């Protein structure tokens, strides 16, 4: 099939490269000239597993890049719209990019086209795109608009696209549903997985992706509701972690106990410093806004957001508890990206925490396996954040080590060496990467989320002092 993908951000670039991988002839459209030039030179602008391989495999053959939307529309049977929908101040999604692409498509349309919204958009966007196209002169019989939300995660986006849990096609006519289904056919009939050079994925043996056909409005809601549910799971376990801290239980044991109920499941139950990224924070606000505008009270969403924000404050309180005063302290920060496997800093809880630490007068030496270049841009050359070339270098002479992103590399660090390099043996772990018993054995004071603190030399309490005095008198 001839496919156009408009927008070469995470979703558009991955979708475009993957459609080329499925055998289609793909033209990716972007109006950012710098990005286009990068892609045309064969560079991969984001850190995403298997994406460089796919770009190299298909660039100049089944995958091209252009700034000309009209040309891309005219040559394509189906146009996937994957432009940004950033949040406005009131939490609503800003749909102006979607609108201007719809105008552009309408002006170029010369034959039947299927326009597919792939960006995460609120319910009713589908009907608005249709209205805008009609207002801009596109004849009603020459197009249909389909909602086909994307569920890929950064870091595993290519595998998520090629081995999806489900493909949702929200289409109000059979004609357009059939066109979109055809684009995914190598996944739904399983033929892609039989190819010897198929990108490896999480399943072995025969696999056929599941395609769910819904109405356009339902598809739009499925995307928001899925992200809201996952974010709610994270806030739920974070709230449970706070109760664990209050009563002296261990959230990792509690998590294992609840997660092994197959109705609940273990995934997305890792406690930490709260969710970040370009999706959950934005989508929660947008979904809440949709619910409010339509007269629905959805307090669960408010509480999910509140717990998430509170989680960062709780982490700051732990740092205070471990170090007492913060002014003038030199801290090693491991992890900057909003999660592991990506160089993305958008809405990263690590960045928010570093900014709070800077306000308190700390100086920071940070290390992240992928996000250092972006972080250098974020903090600028004159900030009190310096960057190390390895975790161990960041730790050298620091008053404490703070773990802010769940990179596997950090979990594999040599604990003896951590102790030796730090000025004080203090680790505050926002991602529960280490086992408290091993930290204790290594002689480290260890503060994590929802688990008892490991403090080697406990400060004297009134009771212990009284007891010691009694013993002495006796």
**Catalytic residue IDs:** 279
Residue 474 burial class via C-beta count within 10 angstroms: exposed 0-12, middle 13-18, buried 19 and up: exposed
Element spanning 457, H or E: none
Of the candidate residues 338, 367, 387, 446, the single one contacting ligand UGA (CB under 6 A): 338
Residues 145-164 that bind ligand UGA (CB under 6 A): 150-154
Size of the site for ligand UGA (CB under 6 A): 22
78-117 footprint of ligand UGA as x/- string (CB under 6 A): ----------------------------------------
Asked whether position 236 contacts ligand UGA by CB under 6 A, the answer is no
Distance CA 396, CA 247 (A): 35
- Token pair of 65, please? 């890049």
Element spanning 145, H or E: strand 143-147
Asked whether position 19 contacts ligand UGA by CB under 6 A, the answer is no
Gyration radius from the chain CA atoms:
25
431 touches 400 (CB < 8 A): no
Nearer to ligand UGA, 98 or 421 (CB): 98
Closest CA to 449 of 328, 269, 306: 269
How many CB atoms are closer than 10 A to CB 62? 19
How open is the CA angle 177-70-180, to the nearest 5 degrees? 10
Closest distance to ligand UGA from the beta carbon of 145 (Å): 20
Asked whether position 335 contacts ligand UGA by CB under 6 A, the answer is no
Asked whether position 222 contacts ligand UGA by CB under 6 A, the answer is no
Of the candidate residues 28, 129, 269, 433, the single one contacting ligand UGA (CB under 6 A): 269
Closest distance to ligand UGA from the beta carbon of 3 (Å): 20
Distance CA 71, CA 327 (A): 58
Asked whether position 276 contacts ligand UGA by CB under 6 A, the answer is yes
Binding span for ligand UGA by CB under 6 A among 66-74, 206-214, 270-278, 391-399: 270-278
334 touches 369 (CB < 8 A): no
Q: Could you tell me whether strands 63-66 and 143-147 are parallel, antiparallel, or unpaired per DSSP bridges?
A: unpaired
Of the candidate residues 119, 126, 227, 391, the single one contacting ligand UGA (CB under 6 A): 227
List interacting residues with ligand UGA (CB under 6 A): 120, 150-154, 227, 230, 234, 268-270, 272, 275-277, 279-280, 283, 338-339, 406
């Amino acid at each position: 099939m001839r496919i156009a993908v408009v927008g070469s951000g995470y979703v558009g670039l991955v979708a475009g490269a993957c459609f080329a991988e499925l055998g289609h002839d793909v033209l990716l459209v972007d109006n950012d000239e710098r990005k286009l030039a990068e892609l045309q030179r064969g560079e991969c602008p984001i850190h995403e597993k298997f994406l460089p391989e796919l770009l190299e495999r298909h660039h100049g053959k089944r995958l091209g890049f252009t700034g000309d939307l009209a040309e891309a529309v005219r040559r394509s049977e189906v146009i996937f719209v994957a432009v940004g929908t950033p949040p406005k101040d009131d939490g609503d999604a800003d749909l102006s990019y979607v609108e201007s692409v719809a105008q552009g498509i309408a002006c170029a349309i010369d034959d039947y086209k299927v326009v597919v919204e792939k960006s995460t958009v609120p319910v009713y966007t589908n009907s608005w795109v249709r209205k805008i196209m009609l207002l801009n002169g596109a004849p009603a019989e020459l197009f249909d608009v389909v909602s086909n939300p994307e569920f890929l995660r950064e870091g595993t986006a290519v595998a998520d696209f090629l081995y999806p849990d489900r493909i949702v096609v929200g289409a109000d006519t059979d004609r357009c549903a059939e066109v979109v289904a055809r684009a995914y056919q190598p996944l739904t009939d399983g033929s892609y997985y039989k190819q010897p050079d198929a990108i490896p994925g999480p399943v072995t043996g025969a696999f056929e992706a599941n395609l769910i056909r819904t109405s356009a409005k339902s598809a739009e809601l499925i995307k928001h509701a899925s992200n809201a549910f996952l974010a709610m799971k994270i806030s739920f376990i974070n709230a449970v972690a706070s109760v664990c801290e209050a009563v002296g239980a261990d959230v990792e044991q509690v998590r294992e106990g609840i997660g092994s109920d197959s109705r609940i499941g273990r995934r997305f139950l890792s406690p930490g410093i709260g969710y970040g990224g370009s999706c959950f924070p934005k989508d929660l606000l947008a979904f809440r806004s949709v619910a409010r505008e339509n007269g629905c009270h959805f307090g669960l969403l408010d509480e999910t957001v509140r717990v998430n924000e509170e989680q960062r404050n709780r982490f700051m309180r732990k740092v205070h508890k471990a170090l007492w005063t913060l002014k003038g302290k030199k801290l090693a920060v491991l992890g900057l990206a909003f999660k592991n496997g990506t160089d993305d800093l958008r809405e990263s809880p690590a960045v928010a925490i570093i900014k709070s630490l800077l306000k308190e007068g700390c100086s920071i030496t940070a290390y992240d396996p992928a996000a250092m270049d972006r972080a250098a841009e974020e903090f600028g050359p004159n900030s009190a954040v310096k960057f190390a070339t390895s975790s161990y270098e960041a730790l050298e002479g620091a008053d404490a080590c703070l773990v802010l992103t769940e990179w596997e590399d950090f979990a594999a660090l040599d604990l003896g060496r951590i102790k030796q390099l730090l000025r004080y043996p203090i680790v505050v772990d926002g991602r529960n990467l280490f086992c408290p018993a091993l930290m204790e054995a290594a002689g480290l004071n260890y503060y994590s989320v929802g688990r008892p603190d490991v403090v080697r030399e406990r400060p004297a309490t009134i009771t212990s002092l009284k007891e010691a005095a009694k013993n002495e008198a006796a």
